[in-house]
Chain A
């Protein structure tokens, strides 16, 4: 506890906090149906780390993730992502912010079935306004990195689940976002594929400038996390490091690179 505290202090002073969730409250519904989903939640994510949000269904982890991604308005509290105060931003600004700073991986992959794999991957660049040809070229390069270089022409539904998720990973990373949000990335995959995908993901996504937040309840992949935040009933009940030894090392490395 003490150690973590000091570590947090250190990282904070270094200005490497990418996500800072402070006293966030969120509830849905009215009156007796009112459901208090997030209760005074505090959470931070730092550059270079993979943070997993775990907990039982309905504990509010997806809501928290939505709030961090800037797709959900919170009732009170503050969310700062990359020094942007999301709780104060307008819808349009939030949309632009999402398009430039955040990569998304969805549970169901949400690849558009009627366009090719490369075009799917290129979508974030297209949203940013990058020229189509260039975007496709970069998508092809990235697909090669995730091992699908020869399948860029195909439609997503021609690929297996694992392959589709790899496409989704490429899509999430193509515009070099500083924050990657993953919602149950292995839920639609079998165990073996889940592991392969996450193995790949932890390799390509991990970057000294980037934080990755993964919501999951798949305990087989906990080992890929640098830190694990456990949630229950709208509160963060515990944040634990996977291997305390790794993080200082990693942080030092990163520090050196700066």
Chain B
């Protein structure tokens, strides 16, 4: 058998062979494609569905697709979707209950999710999946719905060749280079008409799939080019998080006036939590048929920005936008570390891009940090 771990290169056609090989193995292949003027994740069969020649312009509250001068297939940053929508879907049926006289029965929802293969999982997204793994299957209460999707998933990771205007993975130490947790990893190499992908395996199954693809061994020049791609991307980061002990900074400043300022701008719309690849909160919904014989419970994504979220009899714990924004950000960046041993933020920038008023989590941390530092100097 070839030694596939030292890296190989494949062509665009080889990439099609990869999609075919995964489909052949029974995977539902999901990857980026253009839909409604955004790059989203959908089922793919052909590489023609990939966003060839597209890139994106991203800033606080701004997302626009633009043409590139080349035919890159992965020349953009992350869009509004994350892999969360496949592994931890927006809505899951949990069980059905039937009532017959005074007999009550519960039937768990039969859930046989597709075996997913994800194409183009970026380093920040791998980090996000790793975080959700800890949250949703890190203890005795492992969520069977998440686990059944996650354990079967095949991850084709991607070293980023383009950082977006709201990216800050470099300062969160989650990217832009992929380090672990993948089956295969690609780096897109574009040199004039020469369009190749450096590919490496990170698991036994990844190596098996790679062995099935038409490929050439990677040369030192390919490796050097791939390193250059990642380093160029690292230099393009649109944002950065302050390099300080953020948990202590926030928890020591829970009454900082900045929370009032951000609350004046925040619409409490919950967009940031919906696009966040690590936000995991859910609520449950109970429905029953009109005859009252069958009831169903489902689970759907929820957000700490809603009033219902913290409701206990008598009212909501967090009525003000100030308290909700503070809750979200202190959990994401501070208390998450106590709970799961890692920040809840991977620096993907989605919450900045998709905030309708362009609130920037890095700017908010900088504001508190700068104010505290300047006061410390006085």
Partners in one complex: no
Interface residues, chain A, CB within 8 Å of chain B? none
